[in-house]
Amino acid sequence: MKKLKKEAEALLIEAIGKSFPNIQGELNIFDMLEYPPDTSMGDLALPCFKLSKVLRSSPVKIAEMLSENIESGSFSDITAVNGYLNFRMNASVFAKRVVDDICAQGENYGSPMNGDGKTVVLDYSSPNVAKPFHIGHLGTTVIGHSLKLLHEFAGYKCVGINHLGDWGTQFGKLITAYKRWGNKDEVENGGIDELVRLYVLFHTEAEKDEALNDEARKEFSKLENNDEENLLLWRWFIDISIAEYKKTYRLLNIEFDSYNGESFYTDKMPAQIQVMKDKELLTIDDGASVVNLEEWNMPPCLILKRDGSTLYPTRDIAAAVYRKNTYDFEKCIYVTSAGQSLHFAQWFKVVELMGYPWADKLVHVPYGTVSINGAKLATRTGNVILLKDLFAQAIEKVKAITAEKNPALAERDDIAEAVGVGAIVFHYLSNNRMRDINFILEDALSFDGNTGPYAQYTYARTCSILEKSADEGEICGGEICEEEKELAKALALFPDSVSEAIAQYEPSLITRYILDLCAAFNRFYHNCQILSCEDESVKRQRIKLTACVRQVLGKSLELICMKKTEKI
């Protein structure tokens, strides 16, 4: 639709010049143009209220004068109505243009192609080692990976980094728990579930005996000082965790370019601390080294504790410098919960004060919290829904449904996995990322209404139609019905949706677009004969539209981490 807006903009600028020759300055007509909520009013509208002050005339008069001085172009009708200038497009010409664009651009249709090979680094997922991959990690994982796919689609070279939480006092706790109550065979057999059991057990016992916390601090201190036994345990816990996480990433079709976690940057922090000292940024506050950010209405950013040990900001700053030096990124995107917004604002400002000119290339993409039936997630108490369990339940539900509806369906397991996992992903990404989600299992696994299975079923329907047709048809520019016109409009909006999703770091815009496209296609499918149409030219036209929907809907599903299913 952007092309249509551009054409309307050009016509309007010319008409304004004729109607109001004495106007001064430029008008941003493109941004003033709107899509009317009721298509009976037209396909595009200019609210002339926005021009009233500049043109010194009433909106009604402006609309009427412009309607008299405007050429039609690709529009079949341009009328003035109550201060609005409404444009109705020539549907057949428009539909042919949209289909021609999709055919000419192929898999690149919808891409803004503005990445131009520049590098974007994305830091997402990043679970804490030896803790379960639960529903709370779903947001950072699917939002982050969708943003990676969107940027790749736009032509960027993307580097996905899983910044594992693989350092800190929690390892002292886990090592203590393992030495007291653990068993090598049980950990080998139980994997991360056994590590979680030991971690929860530590906290249960520490409430009874506070000396355990001192013991854990000593074990972590030994780890920091390269104690061989603790280093071996630590690496073992990491290997077990990554192997478990990769099972979930496989279901989501996610691969990372780097698993460098917090520990990787331990030897890189002193150089950055020295830069802060040289810039005279560090001050001492109750024994701790901080950067004062009062001028920017933020609390101090802690860099070193009283005992000289580092904190999260220190490691994040060292990581950012390493990534810039290694990848020379155009943007470095961090996808974490909104609760960490202050943390990122603080250390982003410190990077700027350190004199790094790329500080404005650091982007924090926050998202809302997830609770379970209103209860906050907490690993130490075991109040979590594990993603592997959630996905397993969804997959089993799809298997049961498909067995009942289509007993002869081949590749049932692969289809059930794609649809079951897709249902969870779509359910999450249907919401604006800043919205807090109260996760109710029954809702997530619902297969009715505007859901992932509905979108995948629509895609499968397009595949079925095309499989039964002799070819993919063609658009010859003949008359089209209302459903075909609305479907062409939906297809034309895909590039706008992609550009907005990238600009706003908001994958839910693609999810909403998918639902709009599915609704337009299903109205077309139910109200228009396709394969059974007796008029051969109309039949080929409708087959071609169906082929375009398959391509655009398939790409849209890919962009939100969902697999395409040709049969359900």
DSSP class per residue in 371-412: EETTEEPBGGGTB--BHHHHHHHHHHHHHHHHHHH-TT-SSH
Pairing of strands 84-89, 75-81: antiparallel
Please tell me the distance from the alpha carbon of residue 187 to that of residue 336, in angstroms, as a whole number: 30
Please tell me the distance from the alpha carbon of residue 497 to that of residue 510, in angstroms, as a whole number: 6
Asked whether the beta carbons of 162 and 259 are under 8 A apart, the reply is yes
Q: Using the predicted structure, report yes or no on whether residue 70 has a pLDDT greater than 70.
A: yes
pLDDT digits (tens, 9 = 90+) for 50-60: 888 888 889 99
The average pLDDT across 144-152 equals 98
3-state SS of 68-115?
A: HCCCCCCEEEEEEECCEEEEEECHHHHHHHHHHHHHHHHHHCCCCCCC
The average pLDDT across 472-499 equals 87
- When mean pLDDT is compared over 27-31, 93-97, 487-491, the highest value belongs to 487-491
Q: Using the predicted structure, report yes or no on whether residue 91 has a pLDDT greater than 80.
A: yes
Token pair belonging to 274: 């020295």
Asked whether the beta carbons of 173 and 202 are under 8 A apart, the reply is yes
pLDDT digits (tens, 9 = 90+) for 98-135: 999 999 999 999 999 898 889 999 999 999 888 878 88
Q: What is the pLDDT of residue 318?
A: 97
The average pLDDT across 303-315 equals 88
pLDDT digits (tens, 9 = 90+) for 254-288: 999 999 999 999 999 999 999 999 999 999 998 99
Q: Using the predicted structure, report yes or no on whether residue 517 has a pLDDT greater than 80.
A: yes
When comparing pLDDT for 27 and 134, which is higher? 134
CA dihedral 241, 244, 249, 254 (to 10 degrees): 50
Asked whether the beta carbons of 112 and 125 are under 8 A apart, the reply is no
Asked whether the beta carbons of 522 and 538 are under 8 A apart, the reply is no
The average pLDDT across 73-94 equals 86
pLDDT digits (tens, 9 = 90+) for 211-238: 999 999 999 989 988 999 999 999 999 9
Q: What is the pLDDT of residue 383?
A: 56
C-alpha distances in angstroms, 164 versus 220, 262, 263, 328, 525? 17, 6, 9, 22, 47
Q: What is the pLDDT of residue 347?
A: 98
DSSP class per residue in 8-68: HHHHHHHHHHHH-TT--S---HHHH-B--SSGGG-SEEEEGGGGHHHHTS-HHHHHHHHHH
Q: Using the predicted structure, report yes or no on whether residue 25 has a pLDDT greater than 70.
A: no
The average pLDDT across 474-489 equals 84
Pairing of strands 157-161, 44-47: unpaired
Q: What is the pLDDT of residue 377?
A: 56
Q: What is the pLDDT of residue 16?
A: 87
Report the mean per-residue pLDDT for the chain. Answer: 90
Single-letter amino acid code for the residue at 292: N
pLDDT digits (tens, 9 = 90+) for 346-389: 999 999 999 999 999 999 999 998 776 666 655 444 556 788 88
Query: 189: which residues sit within 8 A by CB, 6+ positions away?
Result: none
Token pair belonging to 80: 């003035």
Q: Using the predicted structure, report yes or no on whether residue 21 has a pLDDT greater than 90.
A: no
Please tell me the distance from the alpha carbon of residue 334 to that of residue 124, in angstroms, as a whole number: 6
Q: What is the pLDDT of residue 71?
A: 75
